[in-house]
Structure 1
Amino acid sequence: MIVTDRPEPWHLRTRKFLRATDQRGELVRGARLLRKLVPGDDAPGDPLAPSTGRSSDRLARLLAEAGADRPSATRELGLAAVQAWQAATRRSGTRPRATTGITVLFTDLVGFSTWALHAGDDRVLELLRAVADVTESIVTGHRGSVVKGLGDGVMAVFADPGEAVNAAYETCSAVSVIKAEGYLPHLRAGLHRGNPQRVGDDYLGVDVNIAARIMAAADGDEVLASGSVVEELDADAVIVRPRRNFRAKGTPKDLQVYRVVPRYSAT
């Protein structure tokens, strides 16, 4: 019996050719360069980025995970397309792209958890929606951007610390007049300026933690800000009072914290 080598089927040859072409170094480098030129976040699919539930995020993660152990021009081009898609559909608000000199704002409803235990889901959701609506409207109106909701508060970022202070104060004032049966909503706010690391649509790092700790030390309707924020403010535009004996786990020992109130609100 004579055995002859059969030629490899055409579809297998084609698959190997396309795979080899897809992994060619110059094509992969060109696709990566294109991603850097496309508007938007150039790291869609980053596993450290929070899941927003958007279909574009799910697609980005699938592309990023597909064959992550080998270079692929097709994957890079796919991620570039998702990046452009997200940039085109991102909601309004100015989110700083640089990670230097960003003011981080955290807010929180005082006493909310105790009230929510007995209020019922319908009333809780009604209040949270009202708070979220006024917060986002005010934050974006002051050229900031809401990064994420935190249940009964938000995290937001601003390029301008003065706008951040005004937004924080106005949000506290607006929330205090929202009606909720059996509960008087009072928001507290904390601000810190630093160099957080941007990961996808989120920001991470020590400076983010410091802002959250400052917020936790505030009283209802109070805006607290670190020295890094206060030193950038127009002294004629705000009233500043030192917060004595401020101590919070996970913050620098020399951290200076102040109560800030825009002067226009005191007239």
Structure 2
Amino acid sequence: MLDTLGDAKWKRLLARHDELLRERIAEHGGEVVKKTGDGFFASFENPKAAIDAAVAIQRALSEEIVAPDVRIGVHTGEAFRTGAEGADYGGQDVHVAARVGAIAGAAEILVSTKTLADVGAAFRLSEPREEALRGIAQPVDVVSVYWD
């Protein structure tokens, strides 16, 4: 997409993308912990809010005239504060969350089944599948959330 748009238009597209993601994350009670290249690491008080934000992000992007396909991974677990003034998170579950996002397909919301325990039947989901995640010893069961 960058080749087609050129640097100036790509920069504007990414600014709109970032604005849209930050808005949807905040609207659902999330906190942007950090920007990771062209992605975001966000935390939420509960799993349903995280999935609601992910669905809102995908739907909003689908309404844009031009937008990059976004892969979203959601995982729930323990984390500890790190970095200057506790501005970041660390721990095994943070790594699992990053890996779940990394294996998601274009425009996919991929959620660990561990995350679904407190969500109930609020979303339409694929059948669970087991995925081996880079750097994670045990496979993780994941599902896709249907958002369209």
- Judge same fold: TM > 0.5, yes or no: yes
Q: Where do 1:79-228 residues align within 5 Å? A: 115-116=1-2, 119-180=5-66, 184-199=67-82, 200-228=86-114
Picking from 128, 131, 137, the partner of 1:246 is 131
Distance in 2 (CA, whole Å) between partners of 1:120 and 1:254 is 40
Report the more deviating stretch, 243-252 or 223-232.
243-252
Residue aligned with 2:140, SS: coil
Residue aligned with 2:134, SS: coil
1:220, CA displacement in angstroms? Answer: 1.6
Distance in 2 (CA, whole Å) between partners of 1:192 and 1:149 is 17
1:245, CA displacement in angstroms? Answer: 4.4
1:194, CA displacement in angstroms? Answer: 0.8
1:118, CA displacement in angstroms? Answer: 5.8
Q: Deviations over 1:137-188 (max 9, x none)?
A: 11111011111112322110001100100101110221233334xxx52111
Match of 1:69 in 2: none
1:230, CA displacement in angstroms? Answer: 1.0
Distance in 2 (CA, whole Å) between partners of 1:141 and 1:241 is 26
Q: Is the 8 A contact 2:32 2:40 kept in 1?
A: yes
Q: Deviations over 1:229-248 (max 9, x none)?
A: 0111122x112223434222
Distance in 2 (CA, whole Å) between partners of 1:240 and 1:159 is 22
Amino-acid identity (%): 32
Residue identity matched to 1:198: R
Q: How high is the TM-score relative to the length of structure 1?
A: 0.50
Structural RMSD (CA): 1.9
Distance in 2 (CA, whole Å) between partners of 1:163 and 1:146 is 13
The gaps in structure 1 that reach 5 residues or longer are 1-114
Match of 2:140 in 1: 255
Q: Deviations over 1:21-78 (max 9, x none)?
A: xxxxxxxxxxxxxxxxxxxxxxxxxxxxxxxxxxxxxxxxxxxxxxxxxxxxxxxxxx
Q: How high is the TM-score relative to the length of structure 2?
A: 0.87
Distance in 2 (CA, whole Å) between partners of 1:127 and 1:151 is 15
1:202, CA displacement in angstroms? Answer: 0.8
Q: Is the 8 A contact 1:172 1:187 kept in 2?
A: yes
Distance in 1 (CA, whole Å) between partners of 2:26 and 2:15 is 16
Match of 1:8 in 2: none
Pair 250,135 (structure 1): closer, same or farther in 2 beyond 3 Å: same
Higher strand share: 2
Q: Spell out structure 1 runs of 4+ moving beyond 4 A.
A: none
Residue aligned with 2:131, SS: coil
The gaps in structure 2 that reach 5 residues or longer are none
